[in-house]
Structure formats: structure tokens, C-alpha cells
Amino acid sequence: MNEEQNGVYQHNYKEMNLEDLKKLLESCEISKNQKKKILKQIKWIESADSRRELRKKRKQRYKEMTKQSIKDGTYSKRQKLEKITTRDNFDELHHIAIDLSFDKLMTNKDLRKLGKQLGWCYKENRRSQHPVQFHICGLQDRMRSHLDPSFTNWDVHFDGNVFESFPKEKLTYLTAESGNVLEELKHGMVYVIGGLVDHNHKKGVCHNLAEENKISTARLPLAENVDLQGRKVLTVNHVFEIILAFCECRNWRDAVLKILPPKKLSSNDVTSKTNENHCDEVQKSSEHVDEDFSNKLLTKDLP
């Protein structure tokens, strides 16, 4: 139930039941921050019934729509997705690598979050009209245990250490601290995202690592395209998805607006996000990735 962090035992609220959470809430030893987290978890548990109800309704609606489309003669079975991963034509394809060499810098909770973010990246790439070659580099045991169990069947490249798997001149490490702005995506280049969830506590780790290895770096053109609210350091899945969206529309503003959640944007940008279609007709944001990520979706829907 507890996880050690900096020598202090922390409660893992997600694994506690309602009764224990309520007891803990009454304890006078908890901080404001802990209280907030406990209340959030209580709310999550207490809303289980309504979430179940919603799922039921969604299933029912889907069944009715399928029935109707069979009646109308418009029903078509979901097509089997084609394999994306290939070792051919390296220089003609776009490549994104996630550098998973930071296991030791993360708590189990952070690894769990990163596992979900990777699953999200995988799903989005699998569904994209313009998928990239997705390289998972340097997967280690701790991270492995936090990935969706279906990951061994994922249609991705499992490579070794990122710096040893590609020629250095083919690598560009994406870092928020870089002095270079990413303007284009070049075929045959591997754009590396640091697989790190650190809540901004370990500033510059990936940038320093890239410099030590004499790899070129670049930051996403965020400030050039939107009025970003809060940190310029994005999550792994947001960076991945912005690049994926850019592969579709070749326009950074549209890609950034499509992917970033409203809370990261100014009110003007939120208005453009909601009023215009960015990159494709389906408007979506992956801001729910932490809360509402469905592992079932990954294992069931994707080969």
C-alpha cells in the first residue's frame, strides 16, 4: 500500500479502499496537498456507479447505431490495421524514438504514468493517417512492468540505447531548453523524446544528456504559434502527438491547437481550438490521458 520516496513512506491512495481513505482524511497528520489527493480519490471511487452507467449507455448507443447501419446497408466491419513498422526505406520515413533510460529517476507512480503515456502514443500512432516509425529505446525492467501487458505485441521497434541504435547525425533530441527551434520534420531523422515524468523537478536532464552525447537538440515551436499558459515543458504524449499531428497537416499552429488541452492555451487560442478544425474533422484532446486512459481500449482494439 505504501511506496518509499526519499526515505519517507507515502500512501498510495489509488490502492486504498473508501473506508481507509476516509479514516486517513480524518487524521490530523495529513498536509493540505495530501487532503486534496485523498478527496480526489474518494470522488473517483464514489463516482464509479455513474461511470459504469455511462459506459453502459455508450455501449447501448453503439449497439443501436450498428443495428441501424446494418439496416441501412452502410455497416462495414472495422478493417484490420496494416503493419506500420518496417526496417526498409529508413531515409524516406519519419521516426520518433522514446528514450527510456531514466528508470532510476522515477518513482513507481511516475513510471506508471509514463506507461500510460506510452500506451497513448502507441494508440494514436496506430490510428494516424500518417503514422511514424515508433522506436522504444532502452526499455528496462522497471518500466516494462508498468506497460500494458499487450505491449509485447505492439507494432513498434524495440531498440537498445538510443545513442547506440542510430548514427549520431541522424538524431535530434527534443528538449524544451534547446536554443534551436524545430521547423521541419526531416525524413530519415530520428526525433528523440525523453521518457521522463518528473513534474519539472529534474530540469534539463535530457538536454544535458543530449549535449554530453554531442547530439543536436531542438524545441517545439510553441511560443511562435500559441500563447502558451504555464510550463513550456510538455508531457511525452503531448510532444509525440503534436509531431504526429504535424505529419498530417504540416502546420505547427494547427498541430499544437489540436493536441494541447485548453488549460495550456490562452482564451483566444481556446476559441480558435473550438471554432476551427485542426488537422482533421475530429476534435480531440488527450488531456484526459492521466485520468481516463483505458487499457482495455489498447488491448482490445489494437493488434
Ligand X SMILES: C[S@@+](CC[C@H](N)C(=O)[O-])C[C@H]1O[C@@H](n2cnc3c(N)ncnc32)[C@H](O)[C@@H]1O
Strands 190-194 and 8-11: unpaired
- CB closer to ligand X out of 24 and 166: 166
Q: How far is the CB of 289 from ligand X (least distance, A)?
A: 13
What is the number of alpha carbons within 13 Å of residue 207 lying toward its C-beta?
12
Q: Sign (positive/negative) of CA torsion 21, 23, 28, 29?
A: negative
User: Interface with ligand X includes 162 (CB under 6 A)?
Assistant: no
Rounded distance, CA 302 to CA 123, Å? 7
Q: Which of 97, 132, 233, 279 binds ligand X (CB under 6 A)?
A: 233
Q: Rounded CA gap, 125 and 162, in Å?
A: 20
Nearer Cβ to ligand X (195/302): 195
Number of residues that bind ligand X (CB under 6 A): 21
Q: Residue type at 149?
A: P
Q: How far apart (Å, rounded) are the C-alpha atoms in residues 287 and 237?
A: 10
- Shortest Cβ 238–ligand X spacing (Å): 8
Is 174 a binding residue for ligand X by CB under 6 A? The answer is: yes
Cα separation, 192 vs 218, whole angstroms:
10
Rounded distance between C-alpha atoms, residue 77 and residue 197, angstroms: 38
Could you say whether residue 239 binds ligand X (CB under 6 A)? yes
The nearest distance, CB 272 to ligand X, in angstroms, is: 20
> Which of 175, 254, 278, 298 lies at the binding interface for ligand X (CB under 6 A)?
175
Amino acid code (one letter) for 1: M
- Considering only 133, 194, 243, 245, the residue that binds ligand X (CB under 6 A) is 194
Task: Identify the sign of the CA torsion 269, 270, 276, 282.
Answer: positive
- Whole-angstrom Cα distance, residue 190 to residue 221? 18
Residue 114 within binding range of ligand X, rule CB under 6 A? no
Which residue, 176 or 302, has its beta carbon nearer to ligand X?
Answer: 176
- Taking the C-alpha atoms of residue 238 and residue 256, their distance in angstroms, rounded to an integer, is 9
Of 205, 261, 285, 287, the residue at the interface with ligand X (CB under 6 A) is 205
Q: How far is the CB of 290 from ligand X (least distance, A)?
A: 13
Of 210-229, which residues contact ligand X (CB under 6 A)?
Answer: 219-220, 222
Q: Which of 160, 188, 204, 303 lies at the binding interface for ligand X (CB under 6 A)?
A: 204
Minimal distance, residue 2 CB to ligand X, in Å: 25
Binding site residues, ligand X, CB under 6 A: 174-176, 193-194, 196, 198, 202-206, 219-220, 222, 232-236, 239
